Structure 1
Amino acid sequence: MALAPDRVIRGLLFDRDDTLVIDVPYNADPHRVVPVPGAHRAVERARAAGLLLGVVTNQSAVAKGMATREQVDATNARVDELVGPFDVWCVCPHDAGDGCGCRKPRPGMVLEAADRLGVAPEDLVVVGDIGADVGAALAAGAQAVMVPTPRTRQEEVDAAPTVAATLDEAVALVLAHVDAVLS
């Protein structure tokens, strides 16, 4: 399982919860943000390699009335401070039944991030921990790397085109691909 050898990668989009930070369900409190081990280092390596960086995150706490958009934005700012900085943040505030085009596994946030970064979706890799992250990437024409957690369902892992054991390993796979394409 590897990234497509003929594709140039210009950027990485990360899921937020359980990918960059330890998941606290419906977290809208910046003080509860704790990066996953190695997240800052992995993101720093990608930035140093010249990749564009973004976050695409479903935050249904807003639609459920459990948090305001301002609280979610403050929490994201804390993630940006501890792990980033990121070039773009795309947030879906909708709930699963709202029928929006942005909630993963739909491609809306990946397409928006590509547009805001000024690159084609095909030039991006989405790194996430569940099938919805992979689904959004593939629906947008991007590539995907899954970094499973104990909560990731086995069928999601089995269906993922590329799987890495850690966030650092996912970034290393992408950087190795970038180096191979450039040489």
Structure 2
Amino acid sequence: MQGPIAEVNMPEMDSEWNGAIAFLDRDGVLNYGSPNYINSPEELKIIPGAKQAINELRKLGYRIAITTNQSAIMRGMWGEETIHAIHERLQEELGVLDVLMTCPHRNRDMCGCRKPRPGMLNHASHIIRGKSHSTVDWWGEKPKPIHPLDLMVGDRDSDMGAGWAIGARLFKVDQEIGIQQVIERIINGDPGDDFRPV
């Protein structure tokens, strides 16, 4: 399987959209994670406050892009139809999400989409606004974002690395608290957390 699995829930647009994107990890940010993966819609348990946080981001004008590593797919534990069913349930709980990007690969597959690589975020940016970042110097300065309010919320350093690579503001959360831990900071224009990828 090449590249990420993309689910798009946006109307066709006549021109490029130039607003901000909230890139959100899924497990540990919107729903409780599991060391054994979320294997079915029934296992998906939303973290309290996640729906309200999504609504706040919408009020601020953000497009919402979910970016999630799900190597269970390439491990043969379940297939693409399962991720679609899980994401259907996620949207029943949280409302329609603009783009849901899933990397199905394992670390050893060396794909460009598995976080901390920025492939999923770039792909989502291209879907939403018709442009994305092209190169990353991991030892250089943090890249300039396409939009100054772009942000990444995640519970792992791999999320922070992917967000750093596109110049987004970074917000790391506790996986038991999720996005509600940082939503007030986002609303108040906080520049985000410091992070160095190497």
CA distance in 2, matches of 1:80, 1:169: 21
Alignment partner for residue 33 of structure 2, among 6, 19, 23? 23
User: Is 1:148 paired with 2:148?
Assistant: no
Percentage of matched positions with identical amino acids: 32
With normalisation by structure 1, the TM-score equals: 0.79
CA distance in 2, matches of 1:109, 1:63: 16
Output one character per residue of 1:99-127: Cα deviation in whole Å (capped at 9) or x when no partner.
00000000101111111110656222110
Q: Which residue of 2 aligns with 1:87?
A: 98
**Is the helix fraction higher in 1 or 2?**
1
Q: Which residue of 2 aligns with 1:156?
A: none
With normalisation by structure 2, the TM-score equals: 0.73
Structure 2: segments with no counterpart, 5+ residues: 1-17, 134-144, 191-198
Structure 1: segments with no counterpart, 5+ residues: 1-7, 151-164, 179-183
Structure 1 position 140, deviation (Å): 2.3
Q: Which residue of 2 aligns with 1:4?
A: none
Alignment partner for residue 14 of structure 1, among 21, 24, 42? 24
CA distance in 2, matches of 1:43, 1:109: 20
Output one character per residue of 1:64-99: Cα deviation in whole Å (capped at 9) or x when no partner.
001101101110111122123211111101011100
The size of the alignment, in residue pairs, is: 157
Superposition pairs of residues 97-116 of structure 1, within 5 angstroms: 97-116=108-127
Aligned to 2:113, the other structure's residue is in SS state coil
- Most deviating of 115-124 and 126-135: 115-124
Change (3 A) 1:166 1:59: closer
Superposition pairs of residues 160-171 of structure 1, within 5 angstroms: 166-171=178-183
Moved over 3 A (4+): none
Q: Which residue of 2 aligns with 1:129?
A: 155
Structure 1 position 145, deviation (Å): 0.6
Contact between 1:28 and 1:74, CA under 8 Å: does it hold in 2?
A: no
